[in-house]
Amino acid sequence: MKKLSKFTLLVMLVIAAVMLCVACGGGETTDPTKAPATQVPTAIPTQEPAKTATPEPTATPEPTATPDPAVVPAPFFDLKVEGDTVVDGTDNGYIEVMGGTVGEYTYKHEGKEIKLTTYQGVEAGDWLSVLFEDLYSWEEMINESGIAFEALFQLEKQTTINSPIFGNGNGGGFGLMFRGANAWPNINFGSYDNSTSEFVAANYAYAIDPNAGEPIEVGVVHHVIAMLDIDERMVKFYLDGELLGEGEFGEGDFTVGSGKHNEVGIGGNVNIPGENLVAGSGGSYGIISAKIYDRALNEVQVQKAYEAAMELLK
């Protein structure tokens, strides 16, 4: 055998080394004739511009409505029957029943008898005491906006002493009452200075001359509205829808005197319990409706309140 030349041996070693590298590399062999694929750059997401929320249009606040002078305002106090007792329908007042009951009472109106379930007083001392815890003082209310009292009631006998339907009198305060031995209907309001009042007695200004008047017919239903119109400086008394009398209150401010600042009696005087409708008359009475307004009423409102009260008798 011929010996291989050194050159031939070297070539064979190089070829063997190349073949060994190819065998060890594995994987796909890149075709040198093809150009490498062009890499597509990753798209950078475009951020949408932030949207600013369009604010909702602000509603223009409605102006405070001016009270309609032809509409009776909501009462500050409204006597209501609830079960076998009475409550204030406005929740402004807390009623303490000093005596009397809730039951069927026979009322007479326009020649007819009407049986209604209402509050009634039968014995001396039967009346209601009403406390208004959130009321600072009657003086604050009355000197600012006036006040009006309304009642639909029946008295069986004439009174012979001061006998209030609404009472809070003691050197001041107020009383919607049958006055004195003659049972004259009237209302009075205490005044710091009643020297300019039209009708006066003691510390009070009256709607009607306290030394004159006519008693009401007993045994039938009556409707009363009496008030102090602080803007007009007038005290007024309406009986059964008609103006019975009015008098100038004068320049002085209203005062409760020694009376209660946030209480009132119904069927009696909260300061002088002996002044009550049963003790004053010796007879029973029934109250269908009793309301207090924290302002005076005009003539149209008085008429509408009277008409609404008459609907309770139908």
Over residues 269-288, mean pLDDT: 94
**Token pair belonging to 101:** 């009951």
Is 219 part of a structural domain of the chain? yes
Q: Are 288 and 221 within 8 A, CB to CB?
A: yes
**Token pair belonging to 226:** 């009496």
Q: Given a cut of 70, is residue 166 above it in pLDDT? A: yes
CA within 13 Å, CB half, 200 = 16
Q: Given a cut of 90, is residue 136 above it in pLDDT? A: yes
Is 212 part of a structural domain of the chain? yes
CA within 13 Å, CB half, 201 = 16
Over residues 193-221, mean pLDDT: 95
Q: Given a cut of 90, is residue 36 above it in pLDDT? A: no
Average pLDDT, the chain: 87
Give me the domain span that covers residue 180: 77-311
Give residue 60's pLDDT: 47
pLDDT band at 35 (very low <50, low <70, confident <90, very high): very low
Q: 205 or 51: whose pLDDT is higher? A: 205
| Portion of the chain with pLDDT greater than 90, in percent | 75
pLDDT band at 56 (very low <50, low <70, confident <90, very high): low
Is 57 part of a structural domain of the chain? no
Q: 65 or 112: whose pLDDT is higher? A: 112
60 C-beta neighbours (distance < 10 Å), count:
6
One-letter-per-residue 3-state SS of 61-98? CCCCCCCCCCCCCCCCEEEEEECCEEEECCCCCEEEEC
Q: Given a cut of 90, is residue 8 above it in pLDDT? A: no
- Closest by CA to 187, choosing from 207, 168, 209, is 207
Q: Given a cut of 60, is residue 107 above it in pLDDT? A: yes
**Phi first, then psi: what are they for 18, rounded to 5°?**
-65, -45
Residue with tokens 């009070």: 204
Q: Given a cut of 80, is residue 134 above it in pLDDT? A: yes
Give residue 225's pLDDT: 98
pLDDT band at 67 (very low <50, low <70, confident <90, very high): confident
Is 191 part of a structural domain of the chain? yes
pLDDT band at 163 (very low <50, low <70, confident <90, very high): very high
Residues whose CB falls within 8 Å of the CB of residue 305, separated by 6 or more in sequence, listed in order: 72, 150, 225, 297
Q: 105 or 56: whose pLDDT is higher? A: 105
Is 130 part of a structural domain of the chain? yes
**Token pair belonging to 179:** 């006055």
Question: What is the Rg, in whole angstroms, of the alpha carbon atoms belonging to the chain?
Answer: 46
Is 62 part of a structural domain of the chain? no
What is the CATH number for 219? 2.60.120.200
For the chain, the 3-state helix, strand and coil shares in percent, each to the nearest 5, are 15, 35, 50
pLDDT band at 53 (very low <50, low <70, confident <90, very high): low
Q: Given a cut of 50, is residue 279 above it in pLDDT? A: yes
The pLDDT tens digits for 209-251 are 999 999 999 999 999 999 999 999 999 999 999 999 999 999 9
**Phi first, then psi: what are they for 131, rounded to 5°?**
-110, 130
Is 51 part of a structural domain of the chain? no
**Token pair belonging to 263:** 């209480």
Q: Domain tally for the chain?
A: 1
Is 19 part of a structural domain of the chain? no
Q: Given a cut of 80, is residue 138 above it in pLDDT? A: yes
Enter the pTM of the model: 0.80
CA dihedral 202, 204, 210, 214 (to 10 degrees): -150
CA within 13 Å, CB half, 115 = 2
